Amino acid sequence: MIGIYGGTFNPIHRGHLRAAEAVTAALGLSRLLFVPSARPPHKDSDAAIMAPAQERLAWVKMAVRDNPLFAADDIELERPGPSYLVDTLEALGQRFVEDELVFVAGRDAFCEMGSWKSPRALFAACHIAVTSRPPALDGGLPDWLPECVRDDFILAPDGRSGRHRRAGTWIRHLEIPALDVSASAIRDRLARGVSVRDWVPEAAHAAIVASGCYNEDPKGVSPDAPGSSPTPGEEKP
Ligand code: ATP
């Protein structure tokens, strides 16, 4: 089974890697593809602080290169127009005809999926692994499953899984030891000149900082440049 980890990765952070490792182990994935979106249709308000897609892809590549089960995939960067997951899944389904696909979503992203393009087709096209993500939220799939696909699924009595009535796809809620990190908090720290060394993958840290993409003043001192303050890791994830 191949996992698809979609996101803006603006930038990739340690919370992404922690979730990716936990899901890969829990589901015994043969591969996990990180798929940065080129033009995310749902993050328009964030446009001013969206790093160029090629930069975000490059950082993902650096972050995953030491894990043989992980790979960065540029499928959404190759396609013009908004990056709709349903289109990506169709293309990946043609590429991996022998494999089942599971989309990996944090609980926050999963709750939003009813507003994504063609949600009913989406939920019928792949399995979905929903991971926990701080802050902890009461409830489970019965509370989070988007309204528009509710009738398509039979949920287990414990609320931890569901099966599509016709398509044979499933949804599973995976409790993982998630890290309390977000890309928006990282962008905010970089703009304020605070270190993000403990928050982003070590292999991508220097490139993210050097890009200056999130600097409030692009000519200012990089927060993680030698001699800059405050101390790296001062504010922990
Ligand atoms: P932003 O703060 O800009 O909204 P983000 O940190 O949520 O970004 P995305 O690239 O939008 O990062 O997220 C991609 C996927 O990773 C989503 O499914 C999201 O729920 C999940 N994810 C992000 N951060 C974490 C985390 N700390 N733990 C578990 N899952 C996460």
pLDDT on residue 217: 66
Which residue out of 33, 133, 184 has the highest number of ligand 1 atoms within 8 Å of its CB and is therefore the one to mutate? Answer: 133
**Ligand 1 centroid distance, CA of 34 (Å):** 12
Is residue 139 domain-shared with residue 193, that is, in the same domain? no
Question: Which of 121, 140, 175 marks a domain boundary?
Answer: 175
pLDDT on residue 232: 29
Which residue out of 182, 187, 188, 213 has the highest number of ligand 1 atoms within 8 Å of its CB and is therefore the one to mutate? Answer: 182
Question: Which of 175, 199, 225 marks a domain boundary?
Answer: 175
CA 142 remoteness from chain centre: 22
Pairing relation of β-strands 153-155 and 127-131?
Answer: unpaired
- Asked if residue 228 has pLDDT above 50, the reply is no
Q: Are 219 and 186 in contact (CB under 8 A)?
A: no
Which residue out of 9, 108, 122 has the highest number of ligand 1 atoms within 8 Å of its CB and is therefore the one to mutate? Answer: 108
The residue-averaged pLDDT of 159-175 equals: 97
Ligand 1 pocket, residue 208 CB under 6 Å: no
Residue 216 is classified by DSSP as: S
pLDDT on residue 220: 43
Prediction pTM value = 0.90
In the three-class reduction of DSSP (H, G, I as helix; E, B as strand; rest coil), residue 159 is classed as coil
Q: Are 105 and 131 in contact (CB under 8 A)?
A: yes
Quick check: bond before 11 cis, omega within 30? yes
Q: Which atom of ligand 1 is nearest to the CA of 36?
A: 10
Question: Which of 124, 141, 175 marks a domain boundary?
Answer: 175
- Asked if residue 35 has pLDDT above 60, the reply is yes
Is residue 61 domain-shared with residue 12, that is, in the same domain? yes
In the three-class reduction of DSSP (H, G, I as helix; E, B as strand; rest coil), residue 60 is classed as helix
What domain range is 70 assigned to? 2-175
Is residue 198 domain-shared with residue 216, that is, in the same domain? yes
Is residue 155 domain-shared with residue 218, that is, in the same domain? no
For the chain, strand residue ranges (E) read 2-7, 31-36, 70-72, 101-106, 127-131, 153-155, 161-164, 170-174
Structure tokens, 31: 């591969």
Ligand 1 pocket, residue 51 CB under 6 Å: no
Ligand 1 pocket, residue 181 CB under 6 Å: yes
Segment 21-24 long-range contacts (CB within 8 Å, at least 24 positions apart):
21/67, 22/131, 22/174, 22/176, 22/177, 22/178, 23/104, 23/129, 23/131, 23/174, 23/176, 24/69, 24/70
**Ligand 1 centroid distance, CA of 123 (Å):** 20
Domain count, the chain: 2
Structure tokens, 59: 């950082």
Is residue 151 domain-shared with residue 73, that is, in the same domain? yes
If we measure between CA atoms, which residue out of 237, 174, 202 comes closest to residue 21?
A: 174
In degrees rounded to 5, what are phi and psi of residue 43? -120, 35
- Encode pLDDT of 189-214 as tens digits: 999 999 999 999 999 999 999 999 99
Is residue 151 domain-shared with residue 218, that is, in the same domain? no
Residue 158 is inside which H or E element, if any? none
Q: Whose CA is nearest to atom 30 of ligand 1?
A: 106
Is residue 27 domain-shared with residue 136, that is, in the same domain? yes
